[in-house]
């Protein structure tokens, strides 16, 4: 069973449908015991970093997510769900994250770029990962974000170029984060979700 964490932030149903499409049994929940009993956990999210952390703390789920990772259960953060895994964000003021991964979430420098970064872009693998099984080189995924995770190279499983490279997939142990939206990324996104669902 996969626990899909409901912490008051949007896009839950489309992620749930995508996971079910690749064969997962999904429980949408904010119950701590259900999350801790799950085989795997997904932390989705759209919107602002601060709102995401506020939603987690209000439900007492910040500590639950940390406990999931401490126990070694696979956890996948999506978009804002990836960003809150890091130490802090500069979005709309300084906000403290879960601190499960070192690094900070920062805004794209406008320069000649349109912000937010919206649309299809390439994900270039930097390290081997079970998440990328059967994923063709040069695959494209769908992004929609104004802030990105300034992650260390050893955490960066894949990078994407938007005015310079940024980490679009991160991982350490059984903890993963993806900046793009797999539920909107057609076959590429479904392949990645299937690989997460099927891994041991």
Structure confidence at residue 111 (pLDDT): 76
Structure confidence at residue 200 (pLDDT): 66
The residue range of the domain holding 85 is: 2-198
Least confident of 54-63, 105-114, 122-131, 144-153: 105-114
Q: Is 149 a catalytic residue?
A: no
Confidence of residue 45 (pLDDT cuts 50, 70, 90): confident
Catalytic annotation, pick one of 95, 117, 145, 181: 181
pLDDT above 70 as % of the chain: 100
Q: How many domains does the chain have?
A: 1
pLDDT in tens, 2-32: 999 999 987 799 999 999 999 999 999 999 9
pLDDT in tens, 125-143: 999 999 999 999 999 999 9
The widest CA-to-CA distance across the chain, in whole angstroms, is 47
Catalytic annotation, pick one of 79, 95, 117, 149: 79
Q: Is 20 a catalytic residue?
A: no
Mean pLDDT of the chain: 96
Confidence of residue 167 (pLDDT cuts 50, 70, 90): very high
Phi, psi of 132 (to 5 degrees): -95, 5
Structure confidence at residue 10 (pLDDT): 74
Q: Which of 190, 194, 169, 181 is nearest to 11 (CA)?
A: 181
pLDDT in tens, 107-127: 998 777 899 999 999 999 999
**pLDDT mean over 168-179:** 98
CATH number assigned to the domain comprising residue 56: 3.40.50.880
Structure confidence at residue 180 (pLDDT): 98
Catalytic annotation, pick one of 30, 95, 149, 183: 183
């Amino acid at each position: 069973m996969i626990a899909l964490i409901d912490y008051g932030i949007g896009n839950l149903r489309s992620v749930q449908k995508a996971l079910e499409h690749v064969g997962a049994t999904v429980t949408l929940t904010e119950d701590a015991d259900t999350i801790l009993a799950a085989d795997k956990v997904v932390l989705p999210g759209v919107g602002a970093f601060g709102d995401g952390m506020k939603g987690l703390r209000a439900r007492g789920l910040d500590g639950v997510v940390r406990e999931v990772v401490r126990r070694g259960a696979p956890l996948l953060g999506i978009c804002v769900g990836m960003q809150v895994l890091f130490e802090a964000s500069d979005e709309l003021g300084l906000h403290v994250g879960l601190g499960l991964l070192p690094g900070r979430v920062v805004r794209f420098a406008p320069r000649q770029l349109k912000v937010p970064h919206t649309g299809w872009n390439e994900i270039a693998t930097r390290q081997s990962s079970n998440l990328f099984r059967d994923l063709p080189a040069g695959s494209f995924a769908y992004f929609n974000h104004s802030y990105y995770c300034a992650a260390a190279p050893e955490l960066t499983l894949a990078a994407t170029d938007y005015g310079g490279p940024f980490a679009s997939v991160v991982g350490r142990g059984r903890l993963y984060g993806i900046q793009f939206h797999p539920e909107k990324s057609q076959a590429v996104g479904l392949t990645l979700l299937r690989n997460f669902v099927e891994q041991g």
